[in-house]
Amino acid sequence: MASRAEKSARNTAPAKRAGSGLSIVVPLFNESAGLAALHQRLVAAVKSLKKSRGLAIEIVYVDDGSSDDTLKIARTLPAKGADLQIVSLSRNFGKEAALLAGLDYARHNALLFMDGDGQHPPELIERLVKLWHVDGNDVVYTLKAHRANETALHRFSVKLFYRLLNYRARQPIPEDAGDFRLLSPRAAAALKRMPERNRFFKGLSTWVGFRQVGVPYEPPARKHGRSSWNFPALVGLSIEGLTAFSTTPLRLASLLGILLAASAFLFGIWILAETFLIGRDVPGYPSVMVGIMVIGGAQLIVLGVLGEYIGKILSEMKARPVYFVAEHERREASE
C-alpha cells in the first residue's frame, strides 16, 4: 500500500478536468473549529442541488498553511454526495493564492468560490446555480445587503476604497461584492487565462465581463474562531487590490504634484507682490521650512506609490510560482 508521502508526490499536479459540472472551492486558514459543521451543510446543499439540477459536483478544500488542526480534520471529512479534494499548500501564501490553487485543481468547468468560516451560507448555493444554469448568467456574485453593524470609519473606508478602485474604470467592481461567487465555464476559462501573479480575485472576475448579476444577502455572525482580517490586514489588502488592479494611485500622485507646483507658483507671485508693491518683507525661515516639509512629504508619498508598482513589476518579472502544494488527496463520492 502506498505511503502518504508517495501518494502526495503523485498528486501534486492539477488533475485533468472532468468536464461539465460544478467545483466548489473553499480556501481554509485555521478553520478547525467549524470545518466539520460546514462540510455537513455543504453535503446537504450538494445533495439537494444534484437532485434538482443533475450536476456532477465536487468540493475542493484548499488549506492555506493552517497552524491548527484544519488539515487533519479535512482529511477525515467524508466524500458523501460529491467527489472530495484536499489541497494542502506548503505554507501560508494568502487567500488569493489559495483561490488560484482551487482554480487550478478544480476538475469541473464551472466554479463556485466561498469562504470556510461559515459566513458564506451553503444554503444560498442553489440560488446562485439557478442564476447560472437556468437564467444563463456567467458571473453570479454575492454582496452584503447592508453594513449597519459596522463602524462609521469602516463604512467610510470601504466607500473610499471602491471610489479609488473604480475611478475611470471601464468595468467597475460592484461595491460590497465578496469572493462568494459562481463562474460559468467560459468565465472560469477566461479567469484561468490571466497570467499575472499579483491577483485580485474580485477585480479579475469582474473584468472578464460576460453576463453578471449580484445577489444581496445577509452574512451570518461567525460562530467559530476569530477572523484573521484585522484593520492592518484590510489596509494591506486594499493596497494590494489598488496597485494590482488600478492606476488611480499613480494618477493621484500626478495630480498632487500639479497641485503643489501650482500652489508654489501662486505663493511665489504673492511674495513678489508683497515685496515690490506693498514694500513688506516676507519672513524667510517659516515659509522655507513649511515649503520644504510639504514638498518633501509629497515626494515621499509619490515615491511610496511608485515603489508599490515597481514591487509589483519585480514580482511579475521574477515569475515565481504563486504557491506550492505539499499534499493533494482526491476521493470519489460515496452515496
* pLDDT tens per residue, range 36-79: 888 888 888 888 887 777 788 898 999 988 888 888 888 888 87
Q: What is the pLDDT of residue 1?
A: 39
Fill in the amino acid letter for 310. Answer: I
Find the angle CA(32)-CA(38)-CA(41) to the nearest 5 degrees. Answer: 160
Q: Is the pLDDT of residue 133 over 60?
A: yes
Task: Please compute the mean of the pLDDT values over residues 259-279 and round it to a whole number.
Answer: 69
pLDDT interval class at 227 (50, 70, 90): low
Q: How many helices (H) and strands (E) does the chain have?
A: 11, 8
pLDDT interval class at 11 (50, 70, 90): very low
pLDDT interval class at 224 (50, 70, 90): low
Task: Select from 174, 172, 188, 56 the least CA-distant residue to 109.
Answer: 188
Task: Select from 182, 47, 43 the least CA-distant residue to 112.
Answer: 182
Find the angle CA(245)-CA(99)-CA(323) to the nearest 5 degrees. Answer: 95
What are the tens digits of pLDDT across the range 143-173? 876 665 666 665 666 666 666 665 666 666 7
CA distance 105 to 107: 6
Q: What is the pLDDT of residue 6?
A: 39
Read out DSSP for 295-307?
Answer: HHHHHHHHHHHHH
Q: Is the pLDDT of residue 18 over 60?
A: no
Task: Select from 203, 173, 176, 205 the least CA-distant residue to 191.
Answer: 205
